[in-house]
Structure 1
């Protein structure tokens, strides 16, 4: 009976991993799987399983979430409850993962869930092109409807899948070629949808390989192939050129910078920080978002009224998880968040695949308030889970580097 329950548990955890990429389409989809896992958890968890999350690499994360929760209570920031609940979701996902013994099943489930999302998005993209007669993945509401979610989050799904395909290729020798092809497929789609930070993450992933291998010829070949492929994509994909501000227009550097929304967002965040007297405890997440909106209303350096109205209407948050913690919760929690990543990198830097997962997550947190929404919290937790699974496998096999 217990064996059957464990099999059911693994199945639902794998289902959860597979549907996380579809969270923006419907948050209830992963929530149902989580609910089943919570019911089954007491019947499948064992005492030794808890050791997986009673590790010093997690302590700073637990401490951070504890302090943010305490701030909510002490300063009566009840409006921040939604944000705190997403932080608690990270802990919940970490906990429900501990009975999983097979490392590859959840990773493969995530990869194939991402592949399913890619296939549906491709169908949407072709349909949009057939109906509109144009290919435009620069901006617009149609981008999210095509991708079934916001581009930065969907882009990170494909980055994570790209990294996991590279890892799985080293674990399943008979299917090595298949997973390299899937990795290439995720990369191609990132180029097609013009996901900038995701593409930058891929570049960092490839360059990081230099520090983990002695086969420089292989690295050189990979870099040359990716460079030539990228040049071709920039040539044939006008949206990609626009997203990276590459055009025939003679814009000044200052004008180019102002095309990037985060220029105004982070400029406003900078003003709020230096006008903030609550450096140690911050002002709360909702209050900061309101102050950012006020900043957009009062700024005088937007290109035109249309651009300003777009910012006010969009109500952009800080688009940086580090800055978000700094302004909303204070310097201490900001530093704890940095220490969390530094400690994790120190413990797992010998594992290439763990390292690139964490670097990708850091880059993601540098351009988005990842922990402000359910999908972000789920991706944050799964990245940590996959990183832990990979590094534990390597330590068990006493192999710390790739060749």
Structure 2
């Protein structure tokens, strides 16, 4: 029986990652698969399996989650805040449930398959819309956002993960499979342009520049990096320079004239006001109470239609670091920051894990990733890579120097 469970377990784990983008359509399935993994885990895990993960890193991660749980219990906000804490538990749980899985490359391929499936689903919906609507605009359009499988930001996150995974699976020398990974990278990049997710595209540019610091031929790579930075710096300087106060620059218009910029600028401002009003709070006010304070701040918005939208939807801070600071206090913020720092120190010499870590930080800067179950799943995948001692089989990755 144990042999059978050990054989089935990895495939259930893989299926979980494949179904994540389709949670709105098969909402119960990921939870069922997660429940199966939890039940089977103690029957198949072996002592040697725990060598796959870095003990110090997993302890920091568990300590951070433990603090969230205990702090909420002592503050009397556990009942209200458990829905958020539960999502942090999903990310931590995915790391622990990974322990009996031997082939991490299969999990990577599950990410690739799920991104392709999500793209196909979204593109089909977009094609249907273009054929039924006369006035259709690509990019930052409510119609295209409505056609997507899940929120644009999380589709962008999935595509970034899929691109990085494909790159990590490519062999250093010619191999027939490389063409498939390259094709997947191209498809995902084109899709990011199609849906107009600027966060993902800017992140990819930064990760491309970061890649020049890794690997061999640094005498060539570093001058290329410096040249790219100089060109980008010049473009940004020229782009953000105003001809006059009445005529904003092209880049300023590009940044501010988006559907999400106005939302985030408002939530960030209210988040900072809430943080300043609370002062230095060691244990925070709780996730639910933080939303209440934000809603009170939104009441001061002059535009009545905008005020009603913000208060009805109870928008969160859209910054995970700020959310942890206000909701769990200085202690929670520091523990999360210590975790990020420890992960960077441990993995700084390898491009793939550092690229994933920076992706995590980037999305935490613009989104409360632990407020959505899909966000918790993808953060869990990133954490698996970061806390693993041995991510992939020997001689099956690119030479990252």
The residue correspondences of 1:67-86 to structure 2 (distance < 5 A) are: 67-77=67-77, 78-86=79-87
Number of equivalenced pairs: 375
Does structure 1 retain, via aligned residues, the 8 Å contact 2:139–2:197?
no
Q: In structure 2, the residue corresponding to 1:298 is in which secondary structure?
A: coil
Q: 1:188 maps to which residue?
A: 190
Q: 1:270 maps to which residue?
A: 272
Q: 1:353 maps to which residue?
A: 352
Q: TM-score, normalised by structure 1?
A: 0.85
The residue correspondences of 1:217-366 to structure 2 (distance < 5 A) are: 250-251=247-248, 257=256, 260=261, 261-277=263-279, 279-300=281-302, 304-366=303-365
Deviation at 1:290, TM superposition (A): 1.2
Distance 2:327 2:94 in 1: 24
Distance 2:257 2:299 in 1: 17
Deviations 1:149-203 (A, max 9, x none): 1111121011111100111113893301110110111111011101121112111
Deviations 1:85-115 (A, max 9, x none): 1111222211111001112111101210111
Q: In structure 1, the residue corresponding to 2:283 is in which secondary structure?
A: coil
Does structure 1 retain, via aligned residues, the 8 Å contact 2:108–2:165?
yes
Unpaired segments ≥5 residues, structure 1: 232-248
Does structure 2 retain, via aligned residues, the 8 Å contact 1:351–1:401?
no
Q: 1:179 maps to which residue?
A: 181
Deviation at 1:4, TM superposition (A): 2.9
Q: In structure 2, the residue corresponding to 1:283 is in which secondary structure?
A: coil
Deviation at 1:291, TM superposition (A): 1.1
Q: Tell me: CA distance 1:256–1:347, structure 2 relative to 1, closer, same or farther (3 Å).
A: closer
Does structure 2 retain, via aligned residues, the 8 Å contact 1:27–1:374?
no
Deviations 1:121-149 (A, max 9, x none): 11011111111131244242x44442111
Q: Does 1:382 align with 2:381?
A: yes
Provide the aligned C-alpha RMSD in A. 2.9
Of the structure 1 ranges 43-52 and 189-198, higher mean CA displacement relative to structure 2 is found in 43-52
Unpaired segments ≥5 residues, structure 2: 236-245
Distance 1:59 1:310 in 2: 41
Does structure 2 retain, via aligned residues, the 8 Å contact 1:22–1:148?
yes
Does structure 1 retain, via aligned residues, the 8 Å contact 2:80–2:288?
yes
Distance 1:398 1:114 in 2: 22
Q: TM-score, normalised by structure 2?
A: 0.85
Q: 1:240 maps to which residue?
A: none
Does structure 1 retain, via aligned residues, the 8 Å contact 2:91–2:380?
yes
Deviation at 1:19, TM superposition (A): 1.2
The residue correspondences of 1:6-85 to structure 2 (distance < 5 A) are: 6-53=6-53, 55-77=55-77, 78-85=79-86
Q: In structure 2, the residue corresponding to 1:174 is in which secondary structure?
A: coil
Q: 1:155 maps to which residue?
A: 156
Deviation at 1:394, TM superposition (A): 7.3
**Consecutive aligned runs of 4 or more in structure 1 exceeding 4 Å deviation:** 215-221, 252-259, 393-401
